Amino acid sequence: MKKYPLKEIVKIFDNPEISGNTNVELSGIASLEKAGPSDLSFLGNKKYAHEVPATKAGAVLLPRNYSGELPKDSTVIRVDNPSAELAKIGAIIEAALWPKATPGIHPTAFVAESAKIGENAYIGPNSTICEGAEIGDNTVIQGNCYIGRFVKIGKDCAIMPNAVIMDYCELGNRVRLQPGAVIGSDGYGYELVNGAHVKIPQVGKVVLEDDVEIGANTCIDRARFDKTLIGAGTKIDNLVQVAHNVEVGRACLLVSQVGISGSTHLGDYCVLGGQVGVAGHLKIGSGTMIGGQSGVNGDIEPKSYVRGTPPRPYMKAHKIEILIGHLPELVERLKDVEKHLGIEKKTFIK
């Protein structure tokens, strides 16, 4: 296993402050608990701060403002954001493990004559590029992908295996689709006519702006009309459902299994925790944070921090959950009060 001198590694960090042995050599990355003398570790979440003193890591990245006990045998590197600095190393490793495909079109791919393929683009095996599609420079489309009619894909995009982009959808620059993502599936719309559910044609499109990332097996439905929009810099996790005519603002984070119903608008920098469900035709203000498994059935003001069903301010929802845990005890106390007062009416619980 190749080892790398710490002196070389720290050159990619932003103004690191180093204390300890600068001659250490490292060959791996590990958590604080599992790291050994040849590993680099980091403190990216304060809940693990108690593990710092006991870590056996050869070197550890700590926030500049860390004031706790230091490990005895580790070289300490203080930076503004340990997780972000570690990501720089991860990017180098990623490039080595998964080098970018050599530009060209695989012989098993189908590319329509009217499609336009940009410079240094790659079209992988068994992929289909349909009539009128435009693929930007340096974009990589891996195997078994389907790019529909008149789709527009920008520069430097990465489309992973088995992703589908349906007709007329548009992707900006540096968009990433993970395996199995579906962009532009029909919106879910029906009208009850004479006792039968009649499908409403979905004739709009999906627009993903620059630097959007879509997780594996996530579906973004095409609009009933106009467009479903995902704003620049938004990152969407695996197994998320975004319905027709939804508009998601810039730099939002949607965690796994979120579901957003049709025509709901999210502002910029919203964060939706795992399994949040949002009803249709709502407005979620910019900067809102919604805790996991919440059910949203009404508009939310900007910069709210809520959780629960229906959503309430985060700490209020937490207090309510604590009180619910005491309900059996409170009912018994109420029964004792009724008995003491001679109230014949029984409580609602026997």
Using one digit for the tens of pLDDT, what is the confidence trace for 114-154?
999 999 999 999 999 999 999 999 999 999 999 999 999 99
Domain 104-315 homologous superfamily, CATH: Hexapeptide repeat proteins (2.160.10.10)
- CATH hierarchy code of domain 4-97: 3.40.1390.10
| pLDDT given at position 346 | 60
Taking residues 213-240, report their average pLDDT.
Answer: 98
Q: Is residue 289 over pLDDT 60?
A: yes
| pLDDT given at position 348 | 59
| pLDDT given at position 77 | 97
Q: What stretch(es) of the chain map to CATH 2.160.10.10?
A: 104-315
Q: Which one of 197, 244, 281, 318 is the catalytic residue?
A: 244
| pLDDT given at position 177 | 98
| pLDDT given at position 349 | 58
- Using the structure block, give the residue that is written with the tokens 């249709």: 280
| pLDDT given at position 243 | 98
| pLDDT given at position 35 | 97
Q: What is the mean pLDDT of the chain?
A: 95
147 and 153 Cβ atoms separated by less than 8 Å:
yes
- Using the structure block, give the residue that is written with the tokens 């119903």: 261
Taking residues 300-326, report their average pLDDT.
Answer: 95
pLDDT interval class at 45 (50, 70, 90): very high
Using one digit for the tens of pLDDT, what is the confidence trace for 157-171?
999 999 999 999 999
- Angle (nearest 5°) at CA 284 between 278 and 286: 140
Angle between helical axes of 327-341 and 314-325 (0-180°, round to 10): 60
Q: What stretch(es) of the chain map to CATH 3.40.1390.10?
A: 4-97
Is 244 a known active-site residue? Answer: yes
| Strand ordering across the sheet containing 39-42 | 17-19, 75-79, 59-63, 39-42, 28-29
Taking residues 271-290, report their average pLDDT.
Answer: 98
Among residues 257, 152, 166, which one has the least CA distance to residue 209?
A: 152
Q: Is residue 230 over pLDDT 60?
A: yes
- Tell me phi and psi for residue 36, to 5 degrees: -115, -175
